[in-house]
Amino acid sequence: MALNKARVRTSLRWGLGLAIVVAVVGRCEGSELGTAALAAQAVGWSQPRLVLLPAATRVGDSAPEGWSHLVMKSIPRLVSGDRDTLPASASKTASLFRTVMLADVQPVGLDKEYILSRIGIGMCVPARDGKDEDIVVASDRLQSLSIRLSTIEQLVLDIAEGELAEARIVARTPTFALLRTPAMLVVAGKHRKVDLYYAFCVDRATGRLHVGVWSMWPGTNPQSPPPALIELAPRTRFDCAVDVHAKRLLGTIPLTWSFAMRKLPPGRPVDVPATLGQPIVTVARHPAEVDAAELERMLRQALSPTPDSAAKRVGYQTLPPPAYRESGH
């Protein structure tokens, strides 16, 4: 059974929904510039940037050379829904491509203060040389990588590279970036388009990185803030459980399919206080109106546990998607 672009397009919106473009946003007024930031300006690192990982980059269980942190690797797995209606080739393709997210935290200046230099993202496939690694791929480098894809696999990769361009860094300071990426998520039993927000917070004195994630409705639709966000564990390996939904002709013949991640990545649930909830809604609806430095301060306070709360971090769990108010949906 053949699949066309319309049929496979929605399969690309699970997991990270990563991007390949460097988002350009205006400098946020009120950001506090310390020694690290001033030194970073001198070398062009005043604001973190979003970059596409070069093809052939190999990613195992730690960050590759040139990067300080492996943030997350997402490995999709079809687990529920109408997966038995998929053609065999499509089922294989759906679990072939993986996404990876890296961060690069760098010391700058005489005082060795730390900044968030860049966030790296890419799409990869398992290495075929027996090593437990993944290799970043690009549609224009497959021949040089000695990677052969089927027609459907090539089509999926081509569409994925276009879909990745939808992500943006919507707020940032020298030690902070908020990355927005599109995704499909199972909400109340239905496949829904959402935006995932990944907040990267770097401790200026120690270089420690905290990453939190939550989901929101896209666009300017009225909505409530999530009751909690998730703090990712270092080097998160996300076994991304995917649900399949088939749209049927005459109620019987599968015609098109959509794919949605069942849950957000695993991590430590962090309650969202009211003071943080409103900026989260504002950045989702009108990102240009958010004070990035103030948002960073509140997120850092939520993600950086006190010694007492750190002792309670006993095992990470997966948080179901929040039950947002669905006005306009």
How far does Cα 146 stand from its chain's mean position? Answer: 28
Q: CA 167 to CA 260: how far, in whole Å? A: 18
| CA distance between the termini of the chain | 33
Chunked mean pLDDT (size 10), the chain, 329 residues:
46 40 28 44 70 90 94 91 82 81 91 91 84 84 78 74 82 96 92 95 94 93 92 93 88 83 94 95 94 96 63 37 40
Query: How many C-beta neighbours within 10 Å does residue 35 have?
Result: 14
Query: How many C-beta neighbours within 10 Å does residue 156 have?
Result: 24
For residue 271, the model assigns a pLDDT of: 95
For residue 256, the model assigns a pLDDT of: 83
Residue with tokens 């999709």: 76
Which residue spans within 20-155 are E strands per DSSP? 49-52, 58-59, 69-81, 98-108, 113-126, 134-136
- H or E element that contains 274: helix 274-285
In contact, 289 and 39? CB cutoff 8 Å: no
Phi, psi dihedrals of residue 190, rounded to the nearest 5°: -120, 155
In contact, 62 and 81? CB cutoff 8 Å: no
For residue 305, the model assigns a pLDDT of: 61
For residue 161, the model assigns a pLDDT of: 74
What does pTM read for this prediction? 0.80
Q: CA 32 to CA 43: how far, in whole Å? A: 18
Q: How far is CA 205 from CA 112, 175, 208, 209, 328, in A?
A: 8, 11, 8, 11, 44
For residue 88, the model assigns a pLDDT of: 76
For residue 42, the model assigns a pLDDT of: 52
116-148: b (≥16 Cβ within 10 Å) or e:
bbbbbbbbbbeeeeeeeebbbbbeeebeeeebe
For residue 40, the model assigns a pLDDT of: 52
